[in-house]
Amino acid sequence: EAAVTQSPRNKVAVTGGKVTLSCNQTNNHNNMYWYRQDTGHGLRLIHYSYGAGSTEKGDIPDGYKASRPSQENFSLILELATPSQTSVYFCASGNSAETLYFGSGTRLTVL
């Protein structure tokens, strides 16, 4: 069964601190995605990747970096976290729109 695992499930960070959200998939998918979800908005795409070593900007990349060191792992990095980045973050893997699998999300609070 397709699996996408995110860690941590919950994170509290301070303003100006560095935060790294991790995502691991065992689906052997080339493509991976990072979304954020806020009340009043649908999921919004932050960064995505077509394979190891590749990262691409999504619709709202400002304030975020991404890293894809391997097929299985895709990280989202907040170098200088701000309260506006408080949100729920979802990672997904999938090679097509009908094979997109999401993790259970990371709830990030920036104080």
Partner 1 sequence: DAKTTQPDSMESTEGETVHLPCSHATISGNEYIYWYRQVPLQGPEYVTHGLQQNTTNSMAFLAIASDRKSSTLILPHVSLRDAAVYHCILANQGGSAKLIFGEGTKLTVSS
Query: Which 18-77 residues touch partner 1, going by CB under 8 A?
Result: 31, 33, 35, 40-45, 48, 58-59
**Nearest to partner 1 of 58, 67 (CB atom):** 58
Q: How far is the CB of 110 from partner 1 (least distance, A)?
A: 20
Identify which of 108, 110, 106, 107 has the alpha carbon closest to the alpha carbon of residue 24. 106
Asked if residue 86 lies in contact with residue 109, where contact means CB atoms within 8 angstroms, the answer is yes
Asked if residue 85 lies in contact with residue 63, where contact means CB atoms within 8 angstroms, the answer is yes
- Mapping DSSP to helix (H, G, I), strand (E, B) and coil, where does residue 83 land? helix
**Nearest to partner 1 of 5, 82 (CB atom):** 5
**Nearest to partner 1 of 38, 79 (CB atom):** 38
Question: How many Å apart are CA 41 and CA 94, to the nearest integer?
Answer: 22
Residue 97 contacts partner 1 per CB under 8 A: yes
- Mapping DSSP to helix (H, G, I), strand (E, B) and coil, where does residue 1 land? coil
Which residues form the interface with partner 1 (CB under 8 A)? 4, 31, 33, 35, 40-45, 48, 58-59, 90, 92, 94-105
